[in-house]
Amino acid sequence: MTAYDDNNIFAKILRGELPCEKVYEDDHVLAFMDIMPRADGHVLVIPKAKARNILDIAPDDLKNLIAGAQKVAKAVKAGMKAEGLTIQQFSEQAGGQIVFHIHFHILPRWDGVALRPHTGAMAPADDLKTFAAQIRAAF
């Protein structure tokens, strides 16, 4: 397995070298708005521990990540007044992973509203701030 890359974009966000629209943080995880969202309110949850994906994360770090993802998912659903959620985790390039720091996608869902395609288009910063505020208020 390939070694963890300390220069991946999420490692840079954790070190404060790149900005993010933060939704939640504790000793183990950071959650922030996806800048290329597939749904309004799309949030990423990452561990502070260094791990490429589900195949190499330490069990205790995975436990903390899952607990954080659950907490964030509840806030996303409530804050976005969503009817449901899609939660995704991709491992390795063939599995769809693009950023090689394990993360969960929390996507709020509504009946009859399809996910947007992943085009690489960035969302307006004001939209991300608005959705983040709604989600933060739900914790």
Q: Which secondary structure element, helix H or strand E, spans residue 64, and what is its range?
A: helix 59-79
Whether residue 114 is predicted with pLDDT greater than 90 in this model: the reply is yes
Averaged pLDDT of the chain = 97
Contact 137, 79 (CB under 8 A): yes
For the chain, the first-to-last Cα distance in angstroms comes to 37
Task: Map out the domains of the chain with their CATH numbers.
Answer: 9-136 (3.30.428.10)
Whether residue 139 is predicted with pLDDT greater than 90 in this model: the reply is yes
Which residues are marked as active site?
A: 103
| Average pLDDT estimate for 15-29 | 98
| Average pLDDT estimate for 65-78 | 98
Model confidence, pTM: 0.98
Contact 68, 49 (CB under 8 A): no
Output the six-digit token pair for 27: 């000793």
CB atoms under 10 Å from CB of 56, counted, come to 15
| Average pLDDT estimate for 29-51 | 98
Sign of CA pseudo-dihedral 97, 50, 32, 25: positive
